[in-house]
Amino acid sequence: MVDNKYIFQMSGIKNHFQKRQLLQSIRKLGGIYIGGSVYKEATTHLVVQKALASEKFLAACAGGKWIVSPEFVLDSVNQNAWLPEASYELNLTAQTPETPNPLKTWRERVANGTVSGAFQDWVVLIDIDDSARRSVFDRILKAGRAVVFTDWPTSHAVTHVLTKNTYNNEAEKCGIPYYSVSYVAKHLFGHVCSELNWSCNLDSFDGEQSCEMAIEAAAETDVSMDVTDDLSHKELEKMLKEYIIIMEQQKKMLLTVPEFYSYYTPNLPVQIPAVDFSNVQSLVECAFFPQALEEILGSLQPGVMPPAPLLQQLMHHALHGDAKPLYLSLFITVLHSILRNNPTWGSPGHTKYFLQILQCPECKSGLWSLLETSFRVCLESKPTCHSLPSPPSTELFRLHCNLQEFFLRLFQLELHAASSGRSPGSSRASVLYSTFWNMWEKMTLTSRAVQQLSKLLIKTLLWAFNSTQEWRLGMSVTLQETLCVVVEFWAQEHSPLNSSLVEKGFKDLAEHIAILCQGIPTRPPVSTYLKALGNLCDRRPVQTLKGQTDRIEMNQPSTSSAAHVPGSEAVKDSPGSSDSRRETIPRGYHRVNAAGETLLHRACIRNQVETLLRILSVPGTDVNIKDHAGWTPLHEACNHGSTDCVQALLHHCPNLQLASQVEGVSPLHDALQNQHMHIAKMLLRRGDLHMRGLKT
């Protein structure tokens, strides 16, 4: 149980191990720790090792707080109860026992009600130009119950002017005494000031040696106290390394089984337990980032979601570029754990929560902006939503790849919930729908975000092509799967209501991607985007574009060619021959899509050998026809591993061109580059037989 009588701050504790030990002890005994360099009025105890010229020390003394040594906390935790503070109170006059301890004096006077603070009845005008320094003394004076102004007041009579200048004309006119900043310490500690051996001369004020400068330096020291130095980080990483490895292995096993959806769908309790994350916030303020994530992991359970602003702070630290590998791994694990305990499907509240935490903590412009920035950081491409470390470190690359995979996992789960009917509410109450469509774009597949996703996919494929780095290839696969999930989700949302709208959406997206691929000489984007769209290619092709008339005519049987086909005249003259001939021509035979692909190309891409044989049976079919990029049906069959189609082409097409090339890429090259060795052997055997025939 938290005891509000024990609210701690620390000052001057530079040993990271000791600071961590103190923090853990405070929490174990139910106390509260407030991090940061700024003094907080709620503080009851300040832990220091010695007297300091710091804001916290002066303010705690002025407010009559307990100022104790670290042993007070450590001895208390050993006794499993808070001990009396008196024997642990810092004594500034230990060398002169007959002199009263000013810390004790002010504390007792405040406790018995003699004064409300050390600066009671002071009305102070702070005449300091620097806003940061002015704020420091404002907090110190208010801790001692002074009334503080930064401009001359009209409702109060000023009693003190605190200034860094040696002369104040306005104060002289009013007959008000002015004091240097060192006067604050002199008032608190009296003649003991000269015995404190601080790194400043409190009897004079000359800028660099002033108490003010010492306070500012001490405050900066408090800010820089980070427990993740090399030594402590190695110790912590050593303790948790084995745990992280086991956890990652278990997570991968759970995600690869078909029932991974159930792993992310817990039974939510009727009454959500209340979890206090104030200690986690204190850890973050004190820069104990790995420990904050550990605390969150230990608190997560179904229905429990850490405050969104807290997750945003942790996200900021992860993206900033100076976080350690252990922290980055823990951060991704926390995201998966929150999702596992609080699935978004069917819960508008959970959807809203994830849309809050999964966005850039600086610009806060939505999930898509963060996802796009993540890919662009890896591509080292501009622009990003805001400036990020450049060039990114290996650890930051790994973080972004894991973040992209998390987004894909979230989208896959929401698609699964929508398709299986497990989402009790509308599928539009989902992170995926909110990310890629707004209320004005809901009826179109090619929303602004989907268009940007398609463009990013083409760019990533070009970037990853021929790369030996597996993580680059992994990024391209993640993007392809993301686009596939997005397309399928939108289709499922609209198919029951308007099938013609879905057909139009597929055509629009196919045209958009075809336009993006125009002028790209490299092979992968032309082939891979079709694979990423999955059954998009099974849809009706788009209308013929201008300039494709000749290509269509190449697929149509001409009168002259038909005259040379045995029996063609009989077919032409026979009754009902027109209907019979129309039945033999496959549907879509005369259509060419935006990429210039005929039905023959599309059949080879999908290994539809029956459709291929029907097309080959049509008189005048050009088996070597090329699409806009120059690829033949044989190219497509070899690239996609369509073994049956390759075999049919080799068997039924004596005029098949094996050596047709685009930018030096032949069908054989396509088969070898895509690891289709059985197809390569078939082509080599055909070429060998052809050479033998020429020799004979």
What CATH number should be reported for the domain holding residue 161? 3.40.50
Looking at residue 70, what is its pLDDT? Answer: 94
pLDDT, position 484: 84
Instruction: Provide the pLDDT for residue 572.
Output: 35
Residue 536: inside a domain, yes or no? no
Residue 246 confidence (pLDDT) = 57
Report DSSP letters for 577-617, one per residue. HHHHHHHHSPTTTT---TT---HHHHHHHTT-HHHHHHHHT
Whether residues 637 and 591 fall in one domain: yes
Alpha-helical runs (H) found in 29-89: 55-62, 70-79
| pLDDT value of residue 414 | 85
Per-residue pLDDT, averaged over 568-590, amounts to: 48
Structure-model confidence comparison of residues 13 and 570, the more confident one: 13
Residue 285's pLDDT is 84
CA distances from 109 to 96, 117, 457, 520 (A): 21, 8, 70, 81
Domain finish residue from 206, 223, 240: 223
Percent residues over pLDDT 70 in the chain: 72
Which residues are paired to 662 by β-bridges? 665
Between the alpha carbon of residue 617 and those of residues 84, 585, 589, 622, 649, the distances in Å are 99, 9, 12, 11, 12
Contact 367, 297 (CB under 8 A): no
At residue 211, the pLDDT reads 43
Cα torsion for 149, 154, 155, 156, to the nearest 10°? 50
When comparing pLDDT for 520 and 602, which is higher?
602
Looking at the fold, whether 647 and 553 belong to one and the same domain comes out as: yes
DSSP state of 8: E
Sequence-separated contacts (24+) of 198-205 with Cβ below 8 Å: 198/51, 198/52, 198/53, 199/53, 200/53, 204/180, 205/164, 205/166, 205/180, 205/181
Summary mean pLDDT of the chain: 76
Residue 388, pLDDT > 80, answer no
Q: Please identify which residue in the block is written with the tokens 């033998």.
A: 692
Assess whether 94 and 145 both reside in one domain.
no
- Encode pLDDT of 364-377 as tens digits: 888 988 888 888 88
Is residue 15 located within the same domain as residue 153? no
Q: What is the Cα–Cα distance from 87 to 43, expressed in whole angstroms?
A: 20
Mean pLDDT on 588-600:
78
Question: What's 324-371 look like in SS3?
Answer: CHHHHHHHHHHHHHHHHHCCCCCCHHHHHHHHHHCCCCCCCCCHHHHH
Q: Left if phi > 0, otherwise alpha if psi is -120 to 50, otherwise beta: which for 80?
A: left
Residue located via tokens 């106390």: 31
Q: Which domain CATH number covers 691?
A: 1.25.40.20
Structure tokens, 328: 């980055």
CA geometry: angle 661, 664, 670, nearest 5 deg? 70
Tokens of 83: 């001990």
| Percentage of the residues of the chain whose pLDDT score is greater than 90 | 18
Residue 313 covered by a domain = no
Residue 112: alpha-carbon gap to chain centroid: 53
181-190, 315-324, 400-409, 588-597: which is most confident:
400-409
Q: Where are the alpha helices (DSSP H) in 428-498?
A: 431-436, 448-464, 470-494
Give start and end residues of each alpha helix (H) in 546-587.
549-555, 559-563, 568-573, 577-584
Confidence at residue 20, expressed as pLDDT on a 0 to 100 scale:
81
Quote the pLDDT of residue 427: 57
- Give the whole-angstrom CA distance, residue 684 versus residue 674: 16
Confirm if 642 and 636 have CB atoms less than 8 A apart: yes
What is the total count of domains within the chain?
3
Largest CA distance in the chain: 131
Measuring CA to CA, which residue among 360, 303, 370 is closest to residue 337?
A: 303
- Domain assignment present for 41: yes
* Amino acid type, 82: W
Whether residue 30 sits in one domain with residue 104: yes
Sign of CA dihedral 181, 182, 185, 190: negative
Asked, for residue 531, whether it belongs to a domain, the answer is: no
pLDDT of amino acid 375: 87
Bridge partner residues of 10 (DSSP): 47
Q: Which of the listed residues 223, 249, 267 is the one where a domain comes to its end?
A: 223
The whole-number pLDDT of residue 496 equals 66
pLDDT for position 510: 79
| Structural contact between residues 628 and 595, judged by C-beta atoms closer than 8 angstroms | yes
Q: Write the burial class of residue 123 (CB in 10 Å: 0-12 exposed, 13-18 middle, 19+ buried).
A: middle
The answer to whether residues 93 and 157 belong to one domain is: no
pLDDT at position 207, please? Answer: 34
Residue 245 lies in a domain: no
Query: In this predicted model, what pLDDT tens digit does every residue of 99-138 receive, in sequence order?
Result: 889 999 999 999 999 999 999 999 998 888 888 888 889 9
**Boundary residue ending a domain (169, 194, 223):** 223
Same domain, yes or no: 553 and 664: yes
Say if residues 490 and 430 touch (Cβ distance below 8 Å). Answer: no
pLDDT at 35 > cutoff 50: yes
Q: Write the CATH number for 11.
A: 3.40.50.10190
Q: Residue 662: helix, strand or coil by DSSP?
A: strand
In a domain, 195, yes or no: yes
In this structure, the answer to whether residues 131 and 208 fall within a common structural domain is yes
Q: Which two tokens stand for residue 550?
A: 């000749």
Residue 60 has pLDDT above 90, yes or no: yes
pLDDT digits (tens, 9 = 90+) for 466-512: 666 777 777 888 888 888 888 888 888 877 667 778 888 888 887 77
Please give the pLDDT value at position 141.
Answer: 93
Residue 689 to residue 695: CA distance in whole angstroms:
10
State which H helix or E strand residue 179 sits in. strand 178-179
**pLDDT on residue 174:** 61
Residue type (1 letter), 143: A
Show the tokens assigned to 167. 């002369």
Are both 602 and 676 inside the same structural domain? yes
CB 484 within 8 A of CB 530: no
Report the C-alpha gap between 196 and 439 in whole angstroms. 67
Average pLDDT over residues 596-618: 89
User: What is the average pLDDT across 619-636?
Assistant: 88
- Which tens digit of pLDDT belongs to each residue from 206-240? 333 334 434 433 433 343 333 333 444 555 555 55
pLDDT in tens, 416-438: 877 766 555 555 678 988 899 88
Q: Does residue 147 lie within any of the structural domains?
A: yes
Domain assignment present for residue 453? The answer is no
At 208 the pLDDT is 32
Q: Are 344 and 354 in contact (CB under 8 A)?
A: yes
Tokens 């305990």 belong to residue: 341
Q: Residue 73 pLDDT > 90, yes or no? A: yes
Compute the CA torsion angle 503, 508, 514, 519 (nearest 10 deg): 170
Do 50 and 101 reside in the same domain of the chain? yes
pTM attached to this predicted model: 0.47
Residues 151 and 212 in one domain: yes
In this structure, the answer to whether residues 174 and 199 fall within a common structural domain is yes
Domain coverage including residue 665: 547-558+582-695
Distance, in Å, from the CA atom of 363 to the CA atom of 396, rounded to the nearest integer, reads 19
CB atoms within 10 A of CB 274: 6
Among 54-63, 265-274, 650-659, 685-694, which stretch is predicted with the lowest mean pLDDT?
Answer: 685-694
Pairing of strands 178-179, 160-163: parallel
Distances (CA, A) of 486 to 434, 443, 452, 482: 11, 14, 13, 6
Q: Of 151, 198, 255, 229, which Cα lies nearest the Cα of 57?
A: 198
Phi, psi of 39 (to 5 degrees): -70, 140
314 touches 354 (CB < 8 A): no
